[in-house]
């Protein structure tokens, strides 16, 4: 699976949009981009995923560049409860993709009042 | 409520005393997996199961066993725990093992082996 690069940490003001970048320059055509977050030591929580089109759900938006070498997770109105570690992962899809997801260091997002 | 339930949440044990961490999901998911999380090492996969009676090793399977006798349950067994297995453990499930469905995680089990 393609490796990802994320900033170690970021700050965001409460109520503002949080834009979390991820670089995945070696991504292959059949690899999806996934975002998860982990609040303190709770289980990781799925946020959103996409292949090549931009995606939006009730939690966030995912913008994937045309060449698919990078993406940005957008939390439109960050709240204090969005303080967490955010993981960007790329994962190949297939009939036997059993070894699913390798989580790297992620970005520690701190939302400040 | 759809969820992955792990028990216990916290466990302190001694070296060599066999233990089992249970994991159950109520979403009829085919795929289940165990991870451990250690500072600076991220989440690493221990074992996974594509369906009932189908299990396979992940990245760090040494010292662990699993079984998948029924779809909803995927227990993690430590036959002879050692201090280097002190960690935060997560169970996860997904509708299929094809990699296009998101993983649903339990709330974790913090294990300390003395």
pLDDT tens by residue, chain A, 113 residues = 668 999 999 999 999 999 999 999 988 888 889 999 999 889 999 999 999 989 999 999 999 999 999 999 999 999 999 999 999 988 876 656 665 667 777 999 999 99
Give tens-digit pLDDT for B35-85: 999 988 888 899 999 999 999 999 899 999 999 999 999 999 999 999 999
B102 falls in which pLDDT band (50, 70, 90)? confident
Burial (CB count within 10 angstroms: exposed 0-12, middle 13-18, buried 19+), residue A44: buried
* pLDDT at residue B108, as a whole number: 96
Which residues of chain B lie closer than 8 angstroms to A41, CB-CB?
A: 88, 108, 110
* CA–CA separation, A109 and A107 (whole Å): 6
Question: Smallest CA–CA separation between A83 and chain B, in Å?
Answer: 17
Look up residue B26 and give its DSSP letter.
S
CA nearest A98: which of B58, B3, B28?
Answer: B58
What share of residues in chain B are helix, strand, coil (percent, to 5)?
5, 50, 45
Cβ-proximal residues to B54 (8 Å cutoff; 6+ apart), any chain: B68
Q: Which of B98, B106, B108 sits opposite A93 (nearest CB)?
A: B98
């Amino acid at each position: 699976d393609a490796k990802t690069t994320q900033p170690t940490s970021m700050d965001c003001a409460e109520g503002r949009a949080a834009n979390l970048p991820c670089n995945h320059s070696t991504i292959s055509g059949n690899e999806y981009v996934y975002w998860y977050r982990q609040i303190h030591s709770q289980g990781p929580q799925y946020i959103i995923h996409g292949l090549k089109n931009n995606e939006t759900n009730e939690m966030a938006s995912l913008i994937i560049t045309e060449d698919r070498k990078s993406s940005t997770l957008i939390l439109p109105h960050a709240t204090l409860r969005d303080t967490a570690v955010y993981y960007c992962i790329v994962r190949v899809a297939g009939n036997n993709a059993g070894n699913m997801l390798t989580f790297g260091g992620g970005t520690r997002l701190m939302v400040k009042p | 409520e759809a969820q992955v339930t792990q028990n216990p949440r916290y466990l302190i044990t001694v070296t060599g005393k066999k233990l089992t961490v249970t994991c159950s999901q109520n979403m009829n998911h085919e795929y289940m997996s165990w991870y451990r999380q250690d500072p600076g090492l991220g989440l690493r996969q221990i074992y996974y199961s594509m369906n009932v009676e189908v299990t396979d090793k992940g990245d760090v399977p040494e010292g662990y066993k699993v079984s998948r006798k029924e779809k909803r349950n995927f227990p993690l067994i430590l036959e002879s725990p050692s201090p280097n297995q002190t960690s935060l453990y997560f169970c996860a499930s997904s509708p299929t093992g094809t990699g296009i469905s998101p993983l649903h995680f339990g709330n974790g089990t913090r294990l300390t082996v003395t």
